[in-house]
Structure 1
Amino acid sequence: MVKIEPFEVEQWMDKYEVTPGVLNIAETCVASISIDDIIALCEDPNVPHPINTSTKLTYGAIRGSQALRERLASLYSARVSSPLSPDNILITPGAIAANFLLLYTLIGPGDHVICVHPTYQQLYSVPASLGAEVSLWKLRKERNYIPDIEDLKALVKENTKMIIINNPNNPTGSTIPKSVIQSLIDVARAQNIIILSDEVYRPLYHGISPIDPDFPPSLISMGYENTLITSSMSKAYSLAGIRLGWIASRSPSLIEEIASARDYTTISVSQLDDAVASYALSPSVLHSLLARNIQLARTNISLLSTFISSHPQTCSWVKPTAGTTALVQFKKKGEVVDDVAFCKDLIAKTKVMFVPASKCFGEEFRGYVRIGFVCETEVLREGLERLGTYVKEELA
């Protein structure tokens, strides 16, 4: 029987986000929007409504509609010499299903997997449950949570099957620079190792400019065929409720292998979800949607940065450059707090919700919490005001 560890972060979220009156500053999605909202963002009034109510609700396109896969392919074809074919994209019920499906397909007993850490627990617990040996490629605060290629080289074995990264990273909000990605590819190519890049927070970059020479491109655009990327509409695109994600690869054989296994798990995604995603990714909506979300991220991280700067004896962090999450350490009189007890007490006394990092990402992160800061600005502002009062009363 497959044995899989409890998914700590999801169990924490499930338990506490339903607390009456909670201010959820742990959520990892950009503040969610409605269908009315995305219609309002559309720059072309002649674009049809995203939902055609006369369409018969059959299974629809098994691998995802042509329109949706073409729009996704265009995102990964910008500024590259070889455009990505829509046939190299597989639509799934969220990135969580995409990750599980490709790991289920490609990883098994006798394989060795290397995964960045900290990251979303699924990315290392699922390979372990499938019988693989898993080594953690540790991110360090003193390196601004940028992975060290020399550390990676020390982890690679003869049976290393896959290297997994999460770029931008959850929970740190760090990005892996282009130069480091290239070095990673060089290591992987030497042994024909598959690289999986979970890119659910791409392209929500708020602290690094696209003109920066180390601005991180999608892994799929870097010229190494033996790669897979996963993403979804949930995080950077504010549409978690439609449960739509995807797998993309330059390798037709990898896509076909995963598509074959997919027959046992998912016939197709909902036509309604597919239609809403296709509308949101259309040229008339995409740019205004991303502009809204990047501006929200910049506004909110400024608020959070001001709060942390105002409490230097209590709070410390490495300021995120992308995504929706930050890893913040709290201290009381010079000693790191018990982050689990801190988070429970904070919810009980203020209704402000964080995620305790030692429970959800590893004991080495004792004293840290994950903050999801790209909620509605008023929610964050109110949460930080309550947190400020708590810090003065309980941690000073």
Structure 2
Amino acid sequence: MNIKSIGVEEWLNELEKSAALDIAQSTIASLTTAEILALGDEENGGPGTGAAAFYEALGREKQNYGWIEGSPEFKAEVAKLYRGIDGKGIDADNVLQMNGATGANLAALYTLVHPGDHVVAEYPTYDPLWEIPRTLGANVDLWHLRQEADWNPDIEELKRLVTKNTKLICINNASNPLGTVLSRETLEQIVEIARSVGAYVLSDEVYYPLENSEDFASIVDLYERGIATNSLSKTYSVPGIRMGWTVSNKEVADQLRTCRDYTLICGGVFNDAMAVHVLRHREQILERNRKVIFGNRAIAQEWIDHEPRVSWVPPKGVSTSFITLDIPMGDEQFCRRILAERGVLLVPGSRFHLPRGARLGYCAQEDTLRAGLAQLSEALREFD
């Protein structure tokens, strides 16, 4: 297989550990293990008892393969995140544990896409959603997010791209790095188009919006041939345990089971237990993360308002954002320079096929964000 490197991952693999001020990531200020386990303190009698109860229960578990598809507790907690097409929920048996959303997307694409298939993919976004289908031999057309439309797609363009032979439509809701959240109305239009030709819709939903969440719809709540992928890495602030999942209909889930046997087998006893703990306390985490998102977005907006060389479309309650840079050099050259000279890490927009910009990880710890933006301003003043 001749598969291209993922630009953003290649960049971070090389440089992220050398940064003093990392404002490139798209996770909401990662939680420590102690912070995660302290979420159980209130139900176990006080400080430290949540961790004690967790490890006591874990100590009784054998470190074998555990539950291959994810424990019943994991599946049940994930199922609670979805309403289902009829509003009565989804079948937890169709939830499959994966190695993050990355592994979930890989499994879905490997399962559904074959040489010669026609795939339409949102672009620009996270490379695997269109690069993996191309590598598998599919004919891929790109559905563009356009800056002049505030990084929203044109549904009429999708209608022109989809044909009677279209097998799959890939979307990233919300978009990485742009932060675009597709409205329910737009999703319903996508579903109508897909249903007219019998196409599947794969929706990477790892960036769940914490603003107007009641208006957000998962693809599996709208479409019987929808496949949703997600994980605990972004919105839930726990990327380290690599816990993700797919949700689909039974037919697709049964096909995904075979792919899992080749690529994953299981997620691990410890990781499953930690994932269940996180999901059971998700409301506490989401409350904490809303404060991070809204507080940090206000900080970033104030900075942009006073920074003539920077603009953005404000992210709608998601942790990833993209800034446009008015600079007389390439964005990658600039990002390497500020890292070398100031210790500030961004991801250049060119790594997402978006030149003259950068992914800003505005949901870093507040002190890191403020210090990073201050250094970024000083670097931009050098162009005045």
Per the TM alignment, residue 367 of structure 1 is displaced from its structure 2 partner at its CA by 0.7
Aligned match for 2:352, one of 358, 361, 369:
361
Q: Deviations over 1:24-51 (max 9, x none)?
A: 1111111111232022233422664166
Q: Does 1:375 align with 2:364?
A: yes
For residues 242 and 6 of structure 1, the distance between their equivalents in structure 2, rounded to whole angstroms, comes to 23
Q: Partner letter of residue 321 of structure 1?
A: K
For residues 57 and 110 of structure 1, the distance between their equivalents in structure 2, rounded to whole angstroms, comes to 43
Which residue number in structure 1 is paired with residue 323 of structure 2? 328
Q: Deviations over 1:163-190 (max 9, x none)?
A: 0111111111110011100000000000
Per the TM alignment, residue 79 of structure 1 is displaced from its structure 2 partner at its CA by 9.8
Which residue number in structure 1 is paired with residue 257 of structure 2? 259
Q: Does 1:173 align with 2:184?
A: no
Which residue number in structure 2 is paired with residue 395 of structure 1? 383
For residues 80 and 86 of structure 2, the distance between their equivalents in structure 1, rounded to whole angstroms, comes to 10
Aligned match for 1:338, one of 325, 330, 336:
330
For residues 65 and 385 of structure 1, the distance between their equivalents in structure 2, rounded to whole angstroms, comes to 46
Q: Deviations over 1:254-311 (max 9, x none)?
A: 10011122211121111100000001111xx211111111210111111111111101
For residues 348 and 58 of structure 1, the distance between their equivalents in structure 2, rounded to whole angstroms, comes to 45
For residues 67 and 37 of structure 2, the distance between their equivalents in structure 1, rounded to whole angstroms, comes to 24
For residues 240 and 210 of structure 1, the distance between their equivalents in structure 2, rounded to whole angstroms, comes to 21
Aligned match for 1:105, one of 104, 108, 111:
111
Check the 8 A contact 1:200/1:231 in 2, yes or no. yes
Q: Give SS of 1:395's match.
A: coil
Per the TM alignment, residue 80 of structure 1 is displaced from its structure 2 partner at its CA by 5.3
The ranges of structure 1 where at least 4 consecutive aligned residues each deviate by more than 6 angstroms after the TM superposition are none
More helix by share: 2
Q: Deviations over 1:331-378 (max 9, x none)?
A: 13xx6x4111111111111111111112x111xx22111111111111
RMSD: 1.6
For residues 225 and 185 of structure 2, the distance between their equivalents in structure 1, rounded to whole angstroms, comes to 18
Per the TM alignment, residue 71 of structure 1 is displaced from its structure 2 partner at its CA by 0.6
Which residue number in structure 1 is paired with residue 269 of structure 2? 271
Which residue number in structure 2 is paired with residue 63 of structure 1? 69
Check the 8 A contact 1:220/1:227 in 2, yes or no. yes
Aligned match for 1:309, one of 282, 297, 305:
305
Matches within 5 A, 1:140-289: 140-202=146-208, 204-206=209-211, 209-210=212-213, 215-222=215-222, 224-249=223-248, 251-282=249-280, 285-289=281-285
Q: Does 1:33 align with 2:38?
A: no
Q: Partner letter of residue 255 of structure 2?
A: E
For residues 52 and 62 of structure 1, the distance between their equivalents in structure 2, rounded to whole angstroms, comes to 17
Check the 8 A contact 1:74/1:83 in 2, yes or no. yes
Q: Give SS of 2:220's match.
A: helix
For residues 35 and 355 of structure 1, the distance between their equivalents in structure 2, rounded to whole angstroms, comes to 27
Q: Partner letter of residue 7 of structure 1?
A: I
Check the 8 A contact 2:25/2:361 in 1, yes or no. yes
For residues 63 and 84 of structure 2, the distance between their equivalents in structure 1, rounded to whole angstroms, comes to 33
Pair 1:137–1:79, CA change in 2 (3 A): closer
Q: Partner letter of residue 312 of structure 2?
A: W
Q: Does 1:96 align with 2:102?
A: yes
Q: Give SS of 2:58's match.
A: coil
TM-score with structure 1 length normalisation?
0.92
Pair 1:64–1:138, CA change in 2 (3 A): same
For residues 15 and 31 of structure 1, the distance between their equivalents in structure 2, rounded to whole angstroms, comes to 21
Name the % identity.
35
Q: Give SS of 1:238's match.
A: coil
Which residue number in structure 2 is paired with residue 385 of structure 1? 374
Query: What residue ranges of structure 1 are gaps of 5+ in the alignment?
Result: none
For residues 240 and 52 of structure 1, the distance between their equivalents in structure 2, rounded to whole angstroms, comes to 20
Q: Which moved more, 1:236-245 or 1:257-266?
A: 257-266
Per the TM alignment, residue 63 of structure 1 is displaced from its structure 2 partner at its CA by 0.7
Check the 8 A contact 1:169/1:323 in 2, yes or no. no
Q: Give SS of 1:52's match.
A: helix
Q: Partner letter of residue 267 of structure 2?
A: V
Per the TM alignment, residue 106 of structure 1 is displaced from its structure 2 partner at its CA by 1.0
Aligned match for 2:291, one of 292, 295, 305:
295
Per the TM alignment, residue 78 of structure 1 is displaced from its structure 2 partner at its CA by 7.9
Per the TM alignment, residue 242 of structure 1 is displaced from its structure 2 partner at its CA by 0.4
Q: Give SS of 2:230's match.
A: strand
Check the 8 A contact 1:112/1:161 in 2, yes or no. yes
Which residue number in structure 1 is paired with residue 14 of structure 2? 15
Per the TM alignment, residue 390 of structure 1 is displaced from its structure 2 partner at its CA by 1.4
Q: Give SS of 1:225's match.
A: coil
Per the TM alignment, residue 58 of structure 1 is displaced from its structure 2 partner at its CA by 0.9
